[in-house]
């Protein structure tokens, strides 16, 4: 059985990931500074990831809770700009991620999947995207401290993989994470195309996000790679091509878009990881 640690396991995305991995036969070691009493994980350990010693222990062995890991899924972070000060976001997120990457190296773990973010694509697109649909094909454009950290983490992963050639690190650039309860708000987005233009009207159902994590864990490769992870459709009932033309006139649309097709391209995740979203707010 594969034993995998999930950091941020009590969070919005983490709870789906823990549940999904346990369902698919993984033994999950949940790591978070806030316990989740309803966790589906086999093992839960409270840990502050900004403390390097705690992270080394948590990823190596913790008494009778676990005696080693095959993989790490790192999701823990302050998950958006503006939730606290920029300095606090920077300090928590970069320190936690360095500690997880470095402790995994110390523990000899060769399979790491972590949460990057759609924000590195240039959200909120006050500067228009270079083309639509956006994808992994242009350099990162962080526009906030939160996103800057995500960009630095991708760069950090590049060097960890250079130092350890057997290592695989996959960064998943998740869109805005949604639970099924959130879908009640979606019809209201339709009235004003400006409301959700900041992420090109995309979203990710937490359950599909969890699928992407599992596909990334199971993908056989070495080195670093990044993937945009969104649902197949937009949050809007208007046609994607019409939204792009109205809100971003002059931005090249590089191919014909399906009626409600996501403008955060998931082509690479589909092709390389076999990711295929199963859920939609449309039911
Ligand atoms: N929510 C979104 O829309 C979204 C979009 C793109 C990317 N992401 C990324 O996905 C990941 C998960 O996001 P989420 O929405 O589940 O966030 P969340 O806030 O619901 O969960 C994050 C979890 O991380 C834990 N955590 C934070 N700092 C920690 C630390 N120093 N030590 C231990 N635990 C710590 C928190 O206790 C929390 O349970 C994050 O990396 C976030 O940046 C989220």
What residue spans of 134-232 are helical by DSSP H?
Answer: 145-163, 186-189, 206-218
* Residue 248 belongs to some domain of the structure: no
Is the beta carbon of 97 within 6 A of some atom in ligand 1?
Answer: no
Q: pLDDT by residue (tens digit) across 205-260?
A: 999 999 999 999 999 999 999 999 999 999 999 999 999 999 999 999 999 999 99
Is the entire prediction scored with pTM above 0.95? yes
Q: Are 113 and 73 in contact (CB under 8 A)?
A: yes
Does residue 185 fall inside a structural domain? no
Q: Which domain holds residue 113?
A: 3-125+132-180+203-232+264-273
The candidate with the shortest Cα–Cα distance to 112, out of 131, 129, 125, 99, is 99
Instruction: Please tell me the distance from the alpha carbon of residue 248 to that of residue 243, in angstroms, as a whole number.
Output: 8
Does residue 171 lie in a domain region? yes
The per-residue pLDDT of the chain, averaged, comes to 97
Is there an atom of ligand 1 within 6 Å of 202 CB? no
pLDDT recorded at residue 236: 97
35 in a structural domain = yes
Share of the chain above pLDDT 70, in %: 100
Helix (H) or strand (E) holding 236: none
Residue 225 lies in a domain: yes
Classify residue 237: in a domain, yes or no: no
Task: Check pLDDT > 90 for residue 263.
Answer: yes
Nearest CA owner, ligand 1 atom 12:
75
244, part of any domain: no
CA distance 86 to 244: 31
Is residue 59 within 6 Å of ligand 1 at its C-beta? no
State the CATH number of the domain containing residue 222. 3.40.50.720
Total domains present in the chain: 1
Q: CA 250, 281, 262: angle at the middle one, nearest 5?
A: 25
- State whether the beta carbon of 203 lies less than 6 angstroms from ligand 1: no
Closest CA to 95 of 53, 137, 144, 133: 53
């Amino acid at each position: 059985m594969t034993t995998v640690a999930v950091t941020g396991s009590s969070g919005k995305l983490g709870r789906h990931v823990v549940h999904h991995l346990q369902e698919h036969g993984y033994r999950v070691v949940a790591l978070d500074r806030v316990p989740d009493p309803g966790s589906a994980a086999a093992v839960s350990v409270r840990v502050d990831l900004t403390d390097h010693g705690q992270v080394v222990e948590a990823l190596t062995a913790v008494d009778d809770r676990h005696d080693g890991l095959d993989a790490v899924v790192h999701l823990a972070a302050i998950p958006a700009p503006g939730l606290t000060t920029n300095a606090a976001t920077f300090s928590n997120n970069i320190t936690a991620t360095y500690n997880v990457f470095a402790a995994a190296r110390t523990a000899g773990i060769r399979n790491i999947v972590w949460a990057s973010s759609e924000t590195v694509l240039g959200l909120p697109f006050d500067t228009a995207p270079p083309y639509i649909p956006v994808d992994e094909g242009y350099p990162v454009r962080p526009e906030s401290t939160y996103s800057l950290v995500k960009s630095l983490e991708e760069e950090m992963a590049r060097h960890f993989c250079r130092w350890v050639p057997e290592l695989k690190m996959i960064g998943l650039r998740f869109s805005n994470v949604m639970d099924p309860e959130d879908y009640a708000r979606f019809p209201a987005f339709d009235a004003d195309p400006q409301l959700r233009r900041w992420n090109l009207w995309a979203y990710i159902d937490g359950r599909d996000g969890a699928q992407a994590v599992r596909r990334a864990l199971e993908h056989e490769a070495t080195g670093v790679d990044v993937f945009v992870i969104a649902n197949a459709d937009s949050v809007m009932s208007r046609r994607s091509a019409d939204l792009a033309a109205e809100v971003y006139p002059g931005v090249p649309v590089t191919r014909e878009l399906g009626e409600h097709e996501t403008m955060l391209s998931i082509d690479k995740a589909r092709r390389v990881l076999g990711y295929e979203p199963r859920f939609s707010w449309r039911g």
